[in-house]
Structure 1
Amino acid sequence: MESSALDYVAQACMDLTEALQAASNDADKEILINNHIKQVWSTVPPIDDFKKNLDWVNVMEPISLSTHCSEKIVVLDFWTYCCINCYHVLPDLAHLEELHSVENGLVVIGVHCGKFKNEKESGNILSAIQRYNIHHPVINDSESSMWDALGIKCWPTLLILGPGNKPIFVLTGEGHREELDLYVDSALHYFDSRISNLPLPIEPLKIVKGKEGILHFPSKVSLNPFYRGRNEEPFMAISDSGNHRIVLTDCSGLVLKIVGGTEPGFKDGKLDEAKFNSPQGLCWMSSNVLAVCDTNNHTVRAIHLDEGTVEVLAGTGHQGAHGDFGGKCLGLQPLSSPWDVLLYTTPDLDMSVRPLLPPPPPPPGQVAAEKELEGKEETKEKEKKDEKRRVLLIACAGSHQIWALFLDTTIWWKYKTFTEGTCVCVAGSGAEAARNSAYPHTAAFAQPSGLALKTGLNPEVFVADSESSSIRRIGLSTGQVSTLCGGDRNPLNLFAFGDVDDIGVEAKFQHPLGVAYSESNKTLYVADSYNHKIKKVEVGPQKVTSLNPSKIETADPVKFNEPSGLSVTADGKYLYIADTNNHSVKILNLVKNVCQEFKVRMPDTKFVEPENLILYKNDLFVNRKCGNLIIYFNVSLDSDIRNVKFTPGAPQDWMVCVRDENNKDVTLDDFEFVGCSYKGAKLPGRVEMKIKQRTDKTHYRLYLSFHTALCDNSICFSHAFTIRSTILVRDSVKMVESYKITCKVNPVNRNEKN
């Protein structure tokens, strides 16, 4: 199929949109859509199938349009995972897939055509699919062969195919959920007799957590600048984006508090009930208040640790409309994918307003009195001018703008006064470009994703402008927007990326997502995400240098994987890095240029032996060379009690737990259960476990726990108890050792025997 055919479909869709807007009722709309489908489907040829030997995700075998999809309605989503607009389309596709299954005739296929070199690697696409929780098939069209063949012009583009793989609708950009639902539903009804209900070889990828299962795609980190070394104070906040939560740690990495859950949601209230959806940027507003960019919920939230609550600071929970410059208050003002946030404190700007003509001279005799009064007024005016106002600056990647939430009534640029609680765009036209300007609202950004503050006489904020692969700067006294380094002199060229250490625009980045500024050494640090590097920028000469640190244990170079968040200590000696696709946080010693893991871990819970513990007098043995241990066990009722029986049909639950000499649960770590599980619901029971590999441990503790259901003549009740024994690990015992354990229980006087 030639690109001109797709141009014909696109024009027909534009005409259809105009006709639908003029239609007066649903019946007329249905006729218009059916006529459109009939005309287009009978006119255009089918598109060519996917090229062979391309990598696929979420499938058991490569999908063929001609073999698998010729009797389906197919939605092809041309996307690239760096693109915020593509990111916004994913919920629309998920909604569509909830309405229509593959068996009902709909197939959604993501055609990934990477913009950046890094995005063409299948492993990186796989990480993005995990991060964004995509379940439909995705093909890595790394050379954009289908894109070129069809003449696709922008990300995202949604191409809807009818039976025979003929294009019938095309939608470009984001914000088409209603049209997408309407067109797919109409196509399924129109082609009802041609639609197959056969399944496809789709197998959604299982999400793989990090090594210890604590962090999953951490995106941003923020050191607490108010930290004073107290045990109860958090040292660091981490946006655990893949787990939809915020993790607070002490200086050693020990988890103090987790806010949010592992499933996405949108809920304020108590800390243990709050829900987030892919949180990103973080900023400490005080020692106990943390601002969070709740990106997928399009809000900025505040975590109040002292009060134990979470609340919305700005945003409605729904994406803001394109072209909105704001001005509403707090939770009434919609935002679009806030990605980073920082706190800026400033005196009122432009306070030196003077009238054009001098006032008339005062009457005689009043000069001395007025001088005294004037002195007092000047003192008050100076105090008022020096008083700091708090402004929360927000990088809204979705609208390509920088917004501000004024926490205090503030006189801002150009004598403009914003009252407390006002949320408004302060820089960026909303167009996606890298345009500089002395007038902040005529400047343009390309997906701003990271913010860093430089204070002093000429304060400014540095912006990681990811889609232009540049670092931008905004003068906080004037609003002037300029480029510090990277990118291109042509503001419309968003493809000027690479990996070059140089000066200013001659330096090159690849989709940087994070920045951190050190006041102590006047250096800006950049998470050059798609180059998997950390770079530093000497702000004065605009010189860019790669750090290339080595591991602290060895001389091997550190391998980052799409790092996206940075936070530097006040003394400028240590840089904390959210190493996103490695599911970890790292510490870079900037003095020695060596790096080590910041080991985020849960606090060790002190093991307490269960109640109703019965000690089994005989030791059990297992051969250290992968020996087998078989245990037969049963429970009987003590003959001293009468009228008590096991409840007929009720489960008699049991579970095996093995702990090592440090009381760590190693049931599944050190042992393999042969032909059975380590828990069950029937008695008598049998369990066979085998040491996975030769061990140097000398002994384990075995806990065999029971939860039985019993009845007497009048009532049913439960009774729980645990048998503890020692497993001795030896070389001299048989490769298969077996034991029988029987316990008599007395739930009346708790006099159990074995």
Structure 2
Amino acid sequence: MIEGIGPLHPLSSPWDVAIFRTRDMDMSFHLDERNVPEKAIVLIFMAGTHQIWGYFPEGIIWWKFRKFEPLCCVALKGNGLEENRNNSYPQNAAFAQPSGLAMANDVLYIADSESSSIRKTSMIDGKVMHVVGGDRNPLNLFAFGDVDGKLFNAKLQHPLGVTYNDANNRLYVAESYNHKIKVIDTDSNNISTLKITSQNKTDLIFNGPAGLCLDTNGQNLLVSDTNNHAIHIIDVATLIAKPFVLDFSQIASTCQTEAPKCLSKKYDDHAIKTLALNLIKTISIHFSLRLSPELNFTKEAPQKWILKTVSQSLKIYPSYGTLLNGMCNLQVQATHHEFSCVNNELFTIEFSLNLCRSNCCLIKRISVSIKCGKTIEEHIPIHNVNIHINQSNINLL
């Protein structure tokens, strides 16, 4: 097993995590084993190395009485080869881009995406076993399709998410490339497609569902319908879906309650900048966003921009992107020589910013409209628009 200190250990495309709890096998005498506290093991699906790893927040003696040091990160299952190989010895098994996992007591269910199969592994002895899909040949990673059935007779295509329902011993599967939600009877290893309808009784059409989970009662299935940009709540008894709608109307403040002051509650600031332009040739308009000293761009959060409106007589490239050091550049040119931009609004650009001040953060949207004040004779290739942002408003410089 390859292992290292967790905080220092590199990861390779982790796609999913789950928590497994077990008692320490330290062989100490206990009057009642049920009083031995359970310890958590974080299971990591390392899709890049086709393995299942374990992170141990606490030290524990587990799995053939091996001692795992606190904070260590260890490869538990999979030899690193990209195969659909089941084996009684976990280090001899092989996975193919494992992407989704679900705990069911002492069994871990696995969405093995590249082999288009669902597999499982025992957390007691480590044995890796087949459930549905894929092929008997562990080297065949092209046994995919859309066929309901049992064991190898069933065919799936790139499943991404799984979740287990303790209430009925069913495993729900997000079939991303078949655009379906399927369910597995874990007693018989038989998979079938769920016929899900919307509230108006029409069939619900998915587009690349990727993630799913059950509520605490096991009565509702939540599905992330990725390419439809939607989340559905599905009653598992009636299979009727309703949209999951976020409602922020009851939120009084976007700041944490312990924050001394909140950033501006105004999210949509708009300003107009008038430029003297000659659009016969291509020009560059450089936008530079600068924050007041108490504000910062949230680290590693996206700072995006997009063109919201563009005059039909203009060609602008690119139309969207991310800020680089608070800056973005547009290439603008008129589509015909007769175009007169005087007093015309040329385009509107919207910025979606993630800003922070101490422990108070928000998403702030601002927009700037560019107008043409007059047409100049000379060709100026570069025009600058400097935007200063503070807590309450924006200023153009």
Are the equivalent residues in 1 in contact too, given 2:82–2:95 (CA < 8 A)? yes
Identify the residue that residue 217 of structure 2 maps to in structure 1: 571
RMSD of the alignment, in Å?
Answer: 3.0
Identify the residue that residue 556 of structure 1 maps to in structure 2: 202
Are the equivalent residues in 2 in contact too, given 1:340–1:394 (CA < 8 A)? yes
Are the equivalent residues in 1 in contact too, given 2:345–2:371 (CA < 8 A)? no
CA 1:680/1:604 → structure 2, altered by over 3 Å: closer, same or farther?
farther
2:86 equivalent among 436, 439, 453:
436
Query: Deviation of residue 508 (structure 1)?
Result: 1.0
> Quick one: distance in 2 between partners of 1:605 and 1:526?
34
Are the equivalent residues in 1 in contact too, given 2:345–2:372 (CA < 8 A)? no
1:348 equivalent among 15, 24, 27:
24
Query: Deviation of residue 675 (structure 1)?
Result: 3.7
CA 1:409/1:548 → structure 2, altered by over 3 Å: closer, same or farther?
same
Higher helix share: 1
Query: Deviation of residue 570 (structure 1)?
Result: 2.3
> Quick one: distance in 2 between partners of 1:517 and 1:383?
25
Are the equivalent residues in 2 in contact too, given 1:326–1:333 (CA < 8 A)? no
Are the equivalent residues in 2 in contact too, given 1:518–1:570 (CA < 8 A)? no
SS of equivalent to 1:445? coil
CA 1:600/1:387 → structure 2, altered by over 3 Å: closer, same or farther?
same
Q: Give the counterpart letter for 2:146 in structure 1.
A: D
CA 1:558/1:682 → structure 2, altered by over 3 Å: closer, same or farther?
closer
Give 1:310-349 correspondences, 5 Å limit.
Answer: 325-349=1-25
Are the equivalent residues in 2 in contact too, given 1:406–1:423 (CA < 8 A)? yes
Please tell me whether residue 400 in structure 1 is matched to residue 50 in structure 2.
yes
What is the CA deviation profile of residues 448-484 of structure 1, one whole-angstrom value per residue up to 9, with x for unaligned ones?
00000001xxx11000000010011010111100011
> Quick one: distance in 1 between partners of 2:207 and 2:87?
34
> Quick one: distance in 1 between partners of 2:241 and 2:89?
41
What is the CA deviation profile of residues 147-176 of structure 1, one whole-angstrom value per residue up to 9, with x for unaligned ones?
xxxxxxxxxxxxxxxxxxxxxxxxxxxxxx
SS of equivalent to 2:177? helix
What is the CA deviation profile of residues 636-672 of structure 1, one whole-angstrom value per residue up to 9, with x for unaligned ones?
xxxxxxxxxxxxxxxxxxxxxxxxxxxxxxxx99xx9
> Scaled by the length of structure 2, what TM-score is found?
0.63
CA 1:410/1:600 → structure 2, altered by over 3 Å: closer, same or farther?
same
What is the CA deviation profile of residues 255-310 of structure 1, one whole-angstrom value per residue up to 9, with x for unaligned ones?
xxxxxxxxxxxxxxxxxxxxxxxxxxxxxxxxxxxxxxxxxxxxxxxxxxxxxxxx
Q: Give the counterpart letter for 1:574 in structure 2.
A: N
Aligned residues between the structures: 271
> Quick one: distance in 1 between partners of 2:203 and 2:24?
47
Give 1:417-428 correspondences, 5 Å limit.
Answer: 417-428=67-78
CA 1:485/1:681 → structure 2, altered by over 3 Å: closer, same or farther?
closer
SS of equivalent to 1:581? helix
Higher strand share: 2
SS of equivalent to 1:393? strand
Could you say which structure has the larger radius of gyration?
1
Query: Deviation of residue 520 (structure 1)?
Result: 1.0
Identify the residue that residue 226 of structure 2 maps to in structure 1: 580
CA 1:548/1:680 → structure 2, altered by over 3 Å: closer, same or farther?
same
1:522 equivalent among 126, 147, 169:
169
> Quick one: distance in 1 between partners of 2:372 and 2:180?
56
Identify the residue that residue 476 of structure 1 maps to in structure 2: 123
SS of equivalent to 1:467? helix
Query: Deviation of residue 602 (structure 1)?
Result: 5.1
Query: Deviation of residue 608 (structure 1)?
Result: 8.9
Identify the residue that residue 495 of structure 1 maps to in structure 2: 142
Identify the residue that residue 345 of structure 2 maps to in structure 1: 676
Are the equivalent residues in 2 in contact too, given 1:438–1:480 (CA < 8 A)? yes
Identify the residue that residue 453 of structure 1 maps to in structure 2: 103
What is the CA deviation profile of residues 342-385 of structure 1, one whole-angstrom value per residue up to 9, with x for unaligned ones?
11111124x569xxxxxxxxxxxxxxxxxxxxxxx542x8367x
Query: Deviation of residue 605 (structure 1)?
Result: 8.4
SS of equivalent to 2:237? coil
> Quick one: distance in 2 between partners of 1:603 and 1:402?
42
> Quick one: distance in 1 between partners of 2:9 and 2:112?
24
CA 1:595/1:414 → structure 2, altered by over 3 Å: closer, same or farther?
same
CA 1:412/1:550 → structure 2, altered by over 3 Å: closer, same or farther?
same
Are the equivalent residues in 1 in contact too, given 2:344–2:372 (CA < 8 A)? no
CA 1:346/1:522 → structure 2, altered by over 3 Å: closer, same or farther?
same
> Quick one: distance in 1 between partners of 2:63 and 2:251?
54
**Higher RCO structure (Cα 8 Å, ≥6 apart):** 2
> Quick one: distance in 2 between partners of 1:605 and 1:467?
42
CA 1:605/1:415 → structure 2, altered by over 3 Å: closer, same or farther?
closer
> Quick one: distance in 2 between partners of 1:326 and 1:593?
44
Identify the residue that residue 413 of structure 1 maps to in structure 2: 63
Query: Deviation of residue 400 (structure 1)?
Result: 0.2
What is the CA deviation profile of residues 40-96 of structure 1, one whole-angstrom value per residue up to 9, with x for unaligned ones?
xxxxxxxxxxxxxxxxxxxxxxxxxxxxxxxxxxxxxxxxxxxxxxxxxxxxxxxxx
What is the CA deviation profile of residues 296-334 of structure 1, one whole-angstrom value per residue up to 9, with x for unaligned ones?
xxxxxxxxxxxxxxxxxxxxxxxxxxxxx4311112111
Query: Deviation of residue 603 (structure 1)?
Result: 4.8
> Quick one: distance in 1 between partners of 2:37 and 2:233?
36
Identify the residue that residue 180 of structure 2 maps to in structure 1: 533
> Quick one: distance in 2 between partners of 1:680 and 1:435?
60
What is the CA deviation profile of residues 624-643 of structure 1, one whole-angstrom value per residue up to 9, with x for unaligned ones?
xxxxxxxxxxxxxxxxxxxx
Query: Deviation of residue 680 (structure 1)?
Result: 6.7
Query: Deviation of residue 597 (structure 1)?
Result: 1.6
SS of equivalent to 1:420? coil
What is the CA deviation profile of residues 553-598 of structure 1, one whole-angstrom value per residue up to 9, with x for unaligned ones?
x222111111111111122211111111112211111111111221
Identity rate of aligned residues, in percent?
40
Query: Deviation of residue 519 (structure 1)?
Result: 0.6
> Quick one: distance in 2 between partners of 1:472 and 1:587?
26
> Quick one: distance in 1 between partners of 2:114 and 2:247?
34
Are the equivalent residues in 2 in contact too, given 1:338–1:398 (CA < 8 A)? yes
> Quick one: distance in 2 between partners of 1:499 and 1:517?
21
Query: Deviation of residue 676 (structure 1)?
Result: 3.0
CA 1:604/1:571 → structure 2, altered by over 3 Å: closer, same or farther?
closer
SS of equivalent to 1:505? helix
